[in-house]
């Protein structure tokens, strides 16, 4: 374990020997022989390099474990790296005791003469950074939420997880340290800068030399040298922004005077220009409610005062609720589109056949309620036997009086609400009982001089052709 002095300077590890015997007690991590590493990497063949970081190169290799073969990511310390024995030991000590589905598993290590090598489980989908900024992978909004939630759960485990007897501050949370499994589950990696923190004690701080990555560094930690779990929360807030905007934490393309994503985004949010910073690839996928909640938790994570920032447990709960809300909205929207499409299928009239309209259409009014309209001369009906004419009062009841909570769509003609009706009688029913329907309420009809009924007919015909 690393000791930390009161003046913020790190002392040397408790043992200075470089032999593997100094960490052989760490289980279940396996100590690999250097000869095994040479075989696994084909003597560090450059064609097997899958990544490169501050520690050194990462190779893809096959590790023989008894009678089975496991694909692994093998990270080799570069002799020119600023990191060294301290970070190597820290990572082995941390990961040998940590086990969580959202943390990369350390399979073993090799400490041979000057060679320091770490062997991890292989993540076939690489890093979040790669997909956001290099490969430009078309990640959907829900996929991004899933990645964020997985990362948040991993950080919550580090900070307060019941499976460990101590809390861990990662100290280098960033998109390049978030690896993705083949199922796109997120896993946190690179614990070389991590430090032990008090478990279930949010305000506990550790005095250290400031280390981390610019753009993600907690300003409070940078100015005071006091590291807390809320420093990870700040860095995660930057990752959330990165996912939403698809911009790097430090990006020269942001502004001539301001390259930092946080300041750039905060200024845009303050000015009400949120729509201008969202990645264009997901704009159409995010509901306004989800976007507001997402931005709200981002802003809380990035507060200057660490005590005012949420815990990672709070972040997990918030992101989970956003995901559930988005899925609910998507499901309702898809259902309404299906129902509306079926409704168009049974509309038999033709835009050019006015004979199918009532002779009372001269006033340009649509009859929406067979019982409530008293002045028949100002209305007309569309005689389609296969369609039921609903009472307006029933439509009010089934949509909770056209509550905005159940609004799922809006266009130039009106608004679409969800509702529930009996599957046999079509009478209003309780929520989640019977059939989920979409109810479109048109805006107030304009005088004939401004809009004709043919425009409404044209709308239906156009929608039918698109289908």
112 and 133 co-located in one domain: no
pLDDT score for 166: 73
312 and 391 co-located in one domain: no
Q: DSSP 3-state assignment of 209?
A: coil
Q: Which residues are annotated as a binding site?
A: 75
Segment 60-80 mean pLDDT: 86
255 and 191 co-located in one domain: yes
Does any domain span residue 81?
A: yes
Task: Enter the DSSP assignment of 68.
Answer: E
258 and 187 co-located in one domain: yes
pLDDT score for 30: 86
Whether the predicted pLDDT of 347 surpasses 60? no
Contacts of 401 (CB under 8 A, 6+ apart): none
Using a pLDDT cut of 70, give the percent of the chain over it. Answer: 72
The total number of structural domains that make up the chain:
3
Q: Which residues of 230-251 are buried (b: 16+ CB within 10 A; e: fewer)?
A: bbbbbbbbbbbbbbbbbbbbeb
Does any domain span residue 135?
A: yes
107 and 146 co-located in one domain: no
254 and 386 co-located in one domain: no
pLDDT score for 375: 45
167 and 246 co-located in one domain: yes
The last residue of a domain, from among 121, 156, 189: 121
pLDDT score for 171: 92
Q: Catalytic: 172?
A: yes
Banded pLDDT at 99 (limits 50, 70, 90): confident
Does any domain span residue 259?
A: yes
Residue 261 maps to which CATH number? 1.10.510.10
What would the two tokens of residue 234 be? 């700040």
pLDDT score for 336: 56
pLDDT score for 450: 42
360 and 429 co-located in one domain: yes
The last residue of a domain, from among 121, 138, 162: 121
pLDDT score for 335: 62
Q: DSSP 3-state assignment of 47?
A: helix
Question: End-to-end CA distance of the chain, in Å?
Answer: 65
115 and 148 co-located in one domain: no
Does any domain span residue 281?
A: yes
236 and 315 co-located in one domain: yes
- Say if residues 176 and 54 touch (Cβ distance below 8 Å): no
The last residue of a domain, from among 121, 155, 187: 121
Tell me the backbone φ, ψ of residue 135, rounded to 5 degrees: -85, -20
Tell me the backbone φ, ψ of residue 75, rounded to 5 degrees: -100, 120
Banded pLDDT at 358 (limits 50, 70, 90): very low
Does any domain span residue 397?
A: yes
Residue of 172, 218, 232, 279 marked active site: 172
User: 270 or 25: whose pLDDT is higher?
Assistant: 270
41 and 79 co-located in one domain: yes
Domain that holds residue 225: 128-328
Give CA angle at 441 (440, 443), nearest 5°.
135
Does any domain span residue 309?
A: yes
158 and 59 co-located in one domain: no
Residue 32 maps to which CATH number? 3.30.200.20
> Please, how many CA atoms are within 13 Å of residue 208, restricted to the half-sphere of its CB?
23
Does any domain span residue 1?
A: no
List, in sequence order, every residue forming a beta bridge with 95; answer none if it has no partner: none
Q: How far apart are CA 38 and CA 28, in angstroms?
A: 22
List, in sequence order, every residue forming a beta bridge with 410; answer none if it has no partner: 415
Does any domain span residue 337?
A: no
Q: Which residues are annotated as a binding site for ATP?
A: 75
Banded pLDDT at 22 (limits 50, 70, 90): very low
């Amino acid at each position: 374990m690393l000791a930390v002095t009161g003046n913020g300077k790190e002392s040397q590890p408790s043992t200075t020997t470089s032999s593997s015997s100094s960490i052989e007690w760490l289980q279940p991590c396996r100590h690999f022989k250097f000869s095994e590493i040479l075989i696994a990497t084909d003597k560090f063949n450059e064609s097997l390099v899958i990544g490169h970081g501050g520690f050194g190169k990462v190779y893809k290799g096959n590790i023989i474990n008894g009678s089975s073969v496991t694909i692994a990511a093998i990270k080799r310390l570069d002799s020119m790296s600023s990191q060294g024995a301290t970070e190597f030991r820290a990572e082995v000590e941390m990961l040998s005791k940590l086990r969580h589905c959202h943390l990369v598993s350390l399979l073993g290590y090799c400490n041979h003469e000057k060679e320091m090598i770490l062997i991890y489980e292989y993540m076939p989908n690489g890093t979040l950074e790669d997909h956001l900024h290099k490969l430009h992978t078309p990640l959907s909004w829900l996929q991004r939420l899933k990645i964020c939630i997985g990362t948040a759960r991993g950080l919550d485990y580090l900070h307060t997880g019941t499976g460990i007897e101590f809390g861990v501050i990662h100290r280098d949370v960033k998109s390049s340290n978030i690896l993705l499994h083949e199922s796109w589950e997120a896993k946190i990696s690179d614990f070389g800068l991590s430090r032990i923190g008090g478990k279930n004690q949010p305000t506990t701080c550790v005095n250290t030399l400031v280390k981390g990555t610019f753009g993600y560094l907690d300003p409070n930690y940078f100015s005071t040298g006091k590291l807390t779990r809320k420093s990870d929360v700040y860095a995660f807030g930057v990752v959330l922004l990165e996912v939403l905007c698809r911009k790097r934490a430090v990006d020269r393309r942001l502004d001539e005077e301001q390259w930092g994503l946080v300041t750039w985004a905060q200024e845009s949010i303050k000015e009400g220009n949120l729509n201008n910073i969202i990645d264009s690839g997901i704009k159409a996928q995010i509901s306004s409610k989800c976007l507001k909640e997402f931005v709200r938790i981002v802003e809380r994570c990035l507060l200057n005062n660490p005590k005012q920032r949420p815990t990672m447990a709070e972040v997990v709960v918030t992101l989970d609720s956003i995901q559930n809300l988005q899925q609910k909205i998507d499901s309702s929207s898809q259902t309404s589109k299906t129902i509306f499409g079926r409704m168009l299928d049974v509309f038999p009239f033709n835009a050019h056949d006015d004979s199918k309209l009532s002779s009372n259409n001269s006033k340009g009014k649509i009859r929406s309620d067979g019982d409530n309209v008293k002045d028949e001369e100002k209305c007309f009906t569309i005689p389609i036997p296969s369609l039921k004419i609903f009472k307006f009062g029933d439509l009010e009841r089934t949509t909770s009086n056209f509550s905005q909570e159940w609004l799922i769509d809006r266009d130039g003609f009106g608004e679409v609400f969800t509702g529930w009706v009996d599957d046999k009688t079509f009478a209003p029913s309780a929520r989640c009982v019977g059939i989920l329907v979409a109810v479109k309420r048109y805006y107030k009809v304009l005088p004939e001089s401004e809009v004709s009924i043919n425009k409404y007919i044209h709308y239906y015909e156009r929608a039918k052709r698109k289908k």
